[in-house]
Each structure stands twice: as structure tokens, then as C-alpha cells.
């Protein structure tokens, strides 16, 4: 039986410092290490990066000498970014354990090279592609998004990656494609949490095709100017900022375009608690806690949750005429 995410009301989370200055590698360094970071990104309005040297003399400077300075893009939030420590040590990734610190402690066993992604289903260009080739197809972009967990806590996270729509269009969907299904790696040797029966493995998530084609839908390969850490879903993960965090599937090995709505992991495990759509909605409570407010990690006071996590102006039209209380 699945152990369900617990509410954080009353659970103590120590406030963490905010670090708003992302660090990073140049594109050449990223390519050389087979993890592909960029120094200059084309295509996202607002102008992206001016690489500067961090003053020497600190351990942080020695660890990462290059810092990306960038203007906010059209999809970015201007809210303070959550500290890198919090983003990488307070995680849900049941493949590595149920505790928030289990992923950071256990994910070192995951090997992200070599790594291939199978692309199949209702596409004219099915293929199996290695992660570095896939990344080379697109200019990488920075996105600073809010992240809202279904457990009523949140972060602000700076991602690097590419629009999901760019990948889908490259694959040339057929007229039968209605949904995009994503599958996580299944390998209990590398992912010890899969040795338990907490969920039916492998982890599966899905989007409607129109959701996947929305400009906010994003495939991340980096976090805060660094290579995407294993505990955050390396080497490739989904980021859908207007949905609860469990929709943001990690360590993806398969992308399938299909005609029927897939059965997704949490919707199968607890259909009365975790729906297919999983849109952030303060008016629809979880059966065991309120979704009206959230705890921003690094802050003490709770804040009001915004419809669609603050992205309503951009995405509400996708659900026109849909009863969001029933289709949660």
C-alpha cells in the first residue's frame, strides 16, 4: 500500500538562507563533461547571460569561478530563489527513499551516463537517443519557476533546459497523439527505494498534448547554473510550474505520445487524493489538509496559494469549460 505524502502543517522546517546568485559552467565545460551547460542562450526574450568572474578568495569561488548574470525572461518569477542547499536536500524522490533527505543521501548510486531516452508511440520520428545528443538539439534556456508541492510547501527554483514543445514538434506527432506519457528509470540496484512496494514502479506521469505544447512546459537538465543533481531528477526531468510537484517526473528514460490517457502512478495509488490534472488549486483541498496556503521553504510565515501556482493568466485557458473541482 502506498505511503502517501504527509501534510507539513506543524512540521518544523528550519528557515534556510536565500541564495539568488546562480553559479555555472560555460557551455564548453558542460559539453566536455557530457552534461551540456551553456554560457550563451539564444531565443528567450529579455537577454540572458553575461558571464563574469566571481571574486577569488572564497571556497564558493574556488568551487565555481563562473557566474551567470541574466535579466529576467518572460516566463520568470522575480521572487527570491530558494537556497541551493534547500533545493538539493529537501526532496521527494521515492525511488531513493521516503524521507526528505533520503534522495540527497542515496542518489549517488544513480549513473546518469550513459543514458538513453526511448521516444515512441504516435510520432513520425520514433527513436532512441542518448541524453547528450538530445540536449544538443536545442539551445538551452534559463527559467525561474515557482514549485508547489501537493504537501503544501513550495520553493522558487532556477532551471536550465529547453521547452518541451520544441522536442515534441521535432518528433512530428501524428494526428492520433493526444497525450504525452513519461516514464522514469526502473533499476532497484541504482534506485533502492524501488525495492519497496510503496508505489507501482516504474513511475509514470503524463500530460495532455496541449499542456505539453504550452510555452511554460519545460525539460530541465540543470539547476541553479549547475549540472542537475541526481536527487533533483538527473539527467532529464519535467518541470510544469502550474501543477503540483508530483507531476514533474524525474530521471526520464521514455517519452511516448499516445492516443488514450495514461494511467499515472499517484492517480493509481490514491485516486481520491491525487488526480490526473494536479493543477495547483487553493479552492480544492486535499482530503487530509488544506491547499489554501503553503509554506515557502526558507520562510516562517505561511503564504496564500495562488490558482495555477500564479500562472493562471498563462494557462487557465487550457481548462476552459472543465470542472476543476472534479478534474483535480
Q: Which of 162, 223, 252 is nearest to 25 (CA)?
A: 223
Using only C-alpha atoms, what is the Rg of the chain? 19
Determine if residue 12 is labeled as part of a ligand binding site.
no
Determine if residue 91 is labeled as part of a ligand binding site.
yes
Judge whether 116 and 129 are in contact, CB under 8 Å.
yes
How far is the C-alpha of 125 from the C-alpha of 77, rounded, in Å? 35
Determine if residue 232 is labeled as part of a ligand binding site.
yes
Determine if residue 149 is labeled as part of a ligand binding site.
yes
Judge whether 141 and 215 are in contact, CB under 8 Å.
no
SS3 113: coil
Determine if residue 250 is labeled as part of a ligand binding site.
yes
CA distances from 33 to 27, 42, 287, 295 (A): 10, 22, 46, 37
Determine if residue 94 is labeled as part of a ligand binding site.
yes
- Can you read off the three cell numbers belonging to residue 126? 520514433
How far is the C-alpha of 195 from the C-alpha of 83, rounded, in Å? 31
Determine if residue 303 is labeled as part of a ligand binding site.
no
Determine if residue 248 is labeled as part of a ligand binding site.
yes
Binding site per annotation, positions for Mo-molybdopterin: 91, 94-95, 149, 184, 232, 237, 248-250
Binding site per annotation, positions: 91, 94-95, 149, 184, 232, 237, 248-250
Amino acid at each position: 500500500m502506498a505511503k502517501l505524502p504527509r501534510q507539513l502543517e506543524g512540521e518544523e522546517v528550519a528557515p534556510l538562507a536565500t541564495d539568488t546568485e546562480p553559479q555555472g559552467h560555460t557551455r564548453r565545460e558542460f559539453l566536455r563533461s557530457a552534461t551540456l551547460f551553456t554560457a550563451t542562450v539564444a531565443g528567450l526574450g529579455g537577454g540572458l547571460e553575461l558571464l563574469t568572474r566571481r571574486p577569488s578568495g572564497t571556497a564558493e569561488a574556488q568551487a565555481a569561478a563562473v557566474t551567470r548574470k541574466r535579466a529576467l525572461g518572460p516566463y520568470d518569477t522575480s521572487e527570491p530563489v530558494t537556497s541551493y542547499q534547500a533545493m538539493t536536500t529537501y526532496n521527494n524522490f521515492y525511488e531513493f527513499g521516503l524521507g526528505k533527505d533520503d534522495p540527497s543521501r542515496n542518489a549517488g548510486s544513480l549513473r546518469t551516463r550513459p543514458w538513453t531516452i526511448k521516444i515512441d508511440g504516435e510520432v513520425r520520428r520514433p527513436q532512441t537517443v542518448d541524453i547528450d545528443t538530445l540536449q544538443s538539439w536545442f539551445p538551452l534556456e534559463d527559467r525561474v519557476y515557482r514549485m508547489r508541492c501537493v504537501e503544501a510547501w513550495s520553493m522558487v527554483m532556477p532551471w536550465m533546459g529547453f521547452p518541451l514543445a520544441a522536442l515534441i514538434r521535432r518528433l512530428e506527432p501524428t494526428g492520433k497523439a493526444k497525450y504525452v506519457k513519461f516514464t522514469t528509470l526502473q533499476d532497484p540496484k541504482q534506485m533502492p527505494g524501488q525495492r519497496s512496494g510503496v508505489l507501482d514502479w516504474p513511475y509514470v506521469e503524463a500530460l495532455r498534448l496541449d499542456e505539453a505544447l504550452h510555452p511554460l512546459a519545460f525539460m530541465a537538465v540543470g539547476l541553479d547554473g549547475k549540472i542537475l543533481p541526481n536527487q533533483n531528477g538527473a539527467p532529464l526531468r519535467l518541470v510544469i510550474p502550474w501543477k503540483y510537484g508530483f507531476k514533474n517526473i524525474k530521471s526520464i528514460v521514455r517519452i511516448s505520445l499516445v492516443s488514450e490517457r495514461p494511467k499515472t502512478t499517484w492517480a493509481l495509488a490514491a485516486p481520491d487524493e491525487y488526480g490526473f490534472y494536479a493543477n495547483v488549486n487553493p479552492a480544492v483541498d486535499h482530503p487530509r489538509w488544506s491547499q489554501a496556503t503553503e509554506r515557502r521553504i526558507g520562510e516562517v510565515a505561511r503564504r496564500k496559494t495562488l490558482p495555477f501556482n500564479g500562472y493562471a493568466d498563462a494557462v487557465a485557458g487550457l481548462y476552459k469549460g472543465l470542472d476543476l473541482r472534479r478534474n483535480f
